[in-house]
Structure 1
């Protein structure tokens, strides 16, 4: 359930950014922006939020999301609309910049709500497999040292 809510938040973030930035530079229909936002959400969530964020941290995940959004808009929108040049590059850059700024907050949410519960489950399963015995020792010297002391006296 936490992943579905996180996917919904990410979809709203990407759809909002794409609806705000891409039409400033290109003529793209709303339905196509919704589909593009859905595909970008699924890819970015799998790569950036579930793989890179837990392993490499927030800064690496933000950089990866910036690159993914830039390349996604540049190639995805540029190929489908056969648009080239400065319009697509500008749309890709400004969209990626806003996505990266939004991802900083989204990653804080992911670390606090979604990934924390996964870490707790992992720690719990690891603790159960790595239990050790605990015993109290009254004397720090070994039994052989004690026997040698008795024989000398």
Structure 2
């Protein structure tokens, strides 16, 4: 229930960016933009926000969202969009716009929902530990009782 606000904000952001880029520039229909936005919002919320954001952080999750948006618009556009549309540039521009907006959504989610959660330490924490021991090689001079019999 607590993620519904973030999911709605993410859907509005994705739909707005796709309307500005795909609708205004490439003249894609509103129904195709809504379907693309629903699929991208669901995939990026589950993968980017719930899985990657707590582990890697804001920038890493935005990069994952960029890749998802690029691939998602490209693949969905090849099935949904009518007419000769340059899918490479349409998906690249859409992915850039969505990734920039996702930085703000991730900041909002970390501020509102992930304040008390324990996050998995990543490579950026620099909390390294080293084990030390006295024995570098096993002592083979002592034999087990089983070997002596």
Band of TM-score, shorter chain = 0.7 to 0.9
Aligned-pair distance for 1:38? Answer: 1.1
Secondary structure of the residue aligned to 2:113 is: helix
Aligned-pair distance for 1:77? Answer: 0.8
- Alignment TM-score, normalising by the size of structure 2: 0.72
Aligned-pair distance for 1:99? Answer: 0.6
- Greater Rg by CA: 1
1:19-30 equivalences in 2 (<5 Å): 19-30=19-30
- Match for residue 125 of structure 1? none
| Alignment check: 8 A CA contact 2:19 2:33 kept | yes
| Alignment check: 8 A CA contact 1:21 1:94 kept | yes
RMSD over aligned Cα atoms: 1.9
In 2: Cα distance, 1:71 partner to 1:35 partner: 15
In 1: Cα distance, 2:70 partner to 2:84 partner: 14
- Alignment TM-score, normalising by the size of structure 1: 0.71
Specify every segment of 5 or more residues in structure 2 that has no aligned partner in the other structure, as ranges: 120-149
- Match for residue 102 of structure 1? 101
- Match for residue 68 of structure 1? 68
Q: How many residues align?
A: 119
- Match for residue 113 of structure 1? 112
- Match for residue 143 of structure 1? none
| Alignment check: 8 A CA contact 2:40 2:69 kept | yes
| Alignment check: 8 A CA contact 1:70 1:95 kept | yes
In 1: Cα distance, 2:78 partner to 2:99 partner: 20
- Match for residue 57 of structure 1? 57
